[in-house]
Structure 1
Amino acid sequence: MSYYIWLILGVLAFVIEMMLPTFFALFAGVGFISAALVAFWLPESLFWQLVIAAVFMIIGAVVFKKRGVGDDERDTVGTHNEFVGILGMAITPLSPHREGEIELYEPIVGTRRWPAITEEGDIDIQTEVRVVKLNGNTVVVEKTTLEG
């Protein structure tokens, strides 16, 4: 395979990596770029190009996994934790057993309105709430407390 095809695949993998919150495509990009270098020097050796691409992808995945890169639980982008702590207002009554609706002060995933329940106790309309976790597409909220 020609070296420029490997380069295009490598660049595409790096672009995809920039859009994803994981290190998935990074390893593929390094493998593709490595295969491009092999293809430049050994253009007739598809076998070695594939081997080098696979080896670099596997080595990259093993090294990054052993170092724990990307395993930081404080990084909430793309996870359910990005909802935790967001404030909003109850626009219908809420309880642990009856789903209602809240409106967040800042939109998440393009919308401000979310179905919600409480962990404990009832919450009336127009009460300020804080998101404590996400269950599927339903946010779990608690009343906010005023600290003076």
Structure 2
Amino acid sequence: MSYFIWLMLAVAAFVVEMTLPTFFALFAGIGFIFAASAAFFFPDSLVLQLIIASVFMVFGAIIFKKRGFGDDPRDAVGTHNEFIGIGGMVKTALSPHQEGEVELYEAIVGSRHWPAVSEDGEINEGTEIQVVKLNGNTLIVEKI
């Protein structure tokens, strides 16, 4: 297989890795890069390329798991867990049936401003809130 194909697979794996918070595709991308190196120097040895890609993927995942990276719940970047408990202030009035906007005290996933609805009852502008749930990209909040 051409080294160029391995490099395209590596780029695709890294793009997938950037969109998922799992580190699953990272090791595939690393394995593909090393397979591309093997394909550059040994273009006729597909078996060697496949073995190199597989070895780096498997060993990378084993080392990652043995070290315990990603096991801490606080490492859950990009998941709903990081929103729960964050405080903020209502920027536009909201209710359980009407979406408004809140400004969080901490920037989450690069933004402080998020669409939100209240868990129960109406919440007026300027009221302090706390995130209790996440529904899609809409926060569900309650008054503090």
Whether the TM-score (by the shorter chain) exceeds 0.5 is yes
Q: Aligned pairs, how many?
A: 137
Q: Does 1:26 align with 2:26?
A: yes
Whichever of the two has the greater Rg, that structure is: 1
Any residues of structure 2 matched to 1:53-132 within 5 Å, and which?
53-84=53-84, 85-89=86-90, 91-93=93-95, 99=97, 101-106=99-104, 112-118=114-120, 124-126=123-125, 127-132=127-132
Q: TM-score, normalised by structure 1?
A: 0.68
Gaps of 5+ in 1: none
Identity %, equivalent residues: 55
RMSD of aligned residue pairs (Cα, Å): 3.2
**TM-score if structure 2 supplies the norm length?**
0.70
1:52-83 CA-partner distances (Å, limit 9, x unpaired): 21121111112111212123321342111332
Give the deviation of 1:115 after TM superposition: 2.4
Say whether the 8 Å CA contact 2:93–2:101 is kept in structure 1. Answer: yes
Structure 1, residues 77-133: CA drift from partner, whole Å, max 9, x if none?
A: 21113323141327245xxxx555442125978863322315xxx565343211133
Contact 2:116 2:141 in 1 (8 A): no
Q: Distance in 1 between matches of 2:103 and 2:15?
A: 32
Partner of 1:3: 3
